[in-house]
């Protein structure tokens, strides 16, 4: 801890590379909506996040500053207002060029997040209970550069890590009180049941099907929506939005409403869904 605080002090004295700010702008759609104070906090967190983790490229990939900044910025956005949850459980980040084939491991190792689809199938990302976060850069880049689809594998895997900080992988991250935990449990369980019922009835859903896998995936998938499509989520699932807002201590919908020209933006603005691009799986 002493070493870390000394290193942080040294990092604070250095100027933030202009190129890194460009990378954040490219990979964090809400960057321009953050206050000057929040942006300053984010720069600091991104810098610490990068310096304090071991980064490794896999399958011939060389990890670049753009990759590190894109991943660090999205992970840091989740804990922007939760400094106590700065991923002490993430020491290593492995980056693959694209989807990769994970060795079969028991669900406990993978955090209970195995895919339900037929295997073998490429995995886009994984968060191991006592191990690394693994990401496909191709999918991380797509997810972070296109907010309109509500899918972001970086937000997804780091939501799993927040879940794991509370012990286990059950879709319940750290709560501040019994009352908050009770509200969380009630709303998340009911919302998951509603999603499963809608899927069974063939009704189109805002929350994608993978969220119905289990409570942990439901939390990770709805976290992606909370930050990427906060207005539709708040409109369609106000209770769910409220408990996520309380947990993250952020209100991305209010931020979006302040976005200049929002009302003029056509709805059909979203890019092609990721799943049309490639065989798709994620944990």
- Contact positions toward Zn ion, by CB under 5 A? 113, 217, 220
Cβ closest to Zn ion, residue 123 vs residue 240: 123
Contacts by 18-22 with C-beta closer than 8 Å and gap 24+? 19/65, 20/46, 20/65, 20/69
Cβ closest to Zn ion, residue 136 vs residue 255: 136
Cβ closest to Zn ion, residue 144 vs residue 256: 144
Query: Are 172 and 163 spatial neighbours (Cβ–Cβ below 8 Å)?
Result: yes
Cβ closest to Zn ion, residue 170 vs residue 183: 170
Cβ closest to Zn ion, residue 47 vs residue 128: 128
* Shortest spacing between CB 277 and Zn ion, in angstroms: 18
* Shortest spacing between CB 194 and Zn ion, in angstroms: 20
- Positive or negative: CA dihedral 203, 146, 242, 112: positive
β-pairing verdict for 92-96 and 133-136: parallel
* Shortest spacing between CB 220 and Zn ion, in angstroms: 5
- Closest chain position to Zn ion (CB): 113
Cβ closest to Zn ion, residue 46 vs residue 207: 207
Q: Omega into 120 within 30° of 0, i.e. cis? A: yes
* Shortest spacing between CB 232 and Zn ion, in angstroms: 21
* Shortest spacing between CB 192 and Zn ion, in angstroms: 14
* Shortest spacing between CB 156 and Zn ion, in angstroms: 6
Closest CA to 127 of 75, 84, 203, 201: 75
Structure-token pair, residue 190: 């009911």
């Amino acid at each position: 801890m002493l070493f870390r605080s000394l290193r942080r002090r040294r990092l604070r004295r250095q100027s933030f590379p202009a190129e890194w700010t460009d990378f954040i702008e490219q990979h964090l759609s809400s960057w321009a909506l953050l206050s000057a104070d929040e942006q300053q906090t984010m720069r600091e967190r991104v810098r610490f996040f990068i310096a304090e983790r071991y980064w490794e490229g896999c399958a011939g990939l060389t990890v670049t500053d753009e990759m590190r900044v894109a991943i660090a910025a999205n992970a840091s956005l989740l804990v922007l207002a939760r400094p106590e949850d700065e991923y002490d459980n993430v020491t290593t980040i492995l980056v693959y060029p694209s989807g990769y084939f994970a060795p079969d491991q028991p669900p406990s190792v993978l955090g209970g997040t195995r895919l339900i689809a037929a295997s073998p199938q490429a995995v886009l990302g994984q968060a191991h209970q006592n191990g690394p976060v693994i990401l496909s850069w191709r999918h991380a880049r797509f997810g972070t550069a296109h907010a309109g689809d509500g899918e972001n594998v970086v937000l997804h895997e780091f939501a799993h890590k927040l879940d794991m900080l509370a012990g286990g992988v059950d879709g319940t991250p750290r709560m501040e009180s019994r009352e908050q935990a009770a509200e969380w449990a009630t709303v998340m369980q009911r919302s998951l049941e509603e999603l499963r019922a809608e899927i069974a009835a063939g009704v189109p859903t805002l929350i994608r099907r993978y969220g119905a896998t289990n409570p942990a995936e439901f939390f990770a998938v709805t976290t992606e929506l909370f930050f990427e499509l906060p207005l539709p989520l708040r409109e369609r699932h106000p209770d769910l939005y409220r408990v996520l807002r309380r947990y993250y201590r952020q209100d991305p919908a209010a931020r979006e409403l302040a976005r200049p020209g929002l009302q003029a933006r056509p709805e059909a603005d979203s890019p092609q869904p990721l799943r049309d691009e490639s065989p798709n799986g994620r944990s």
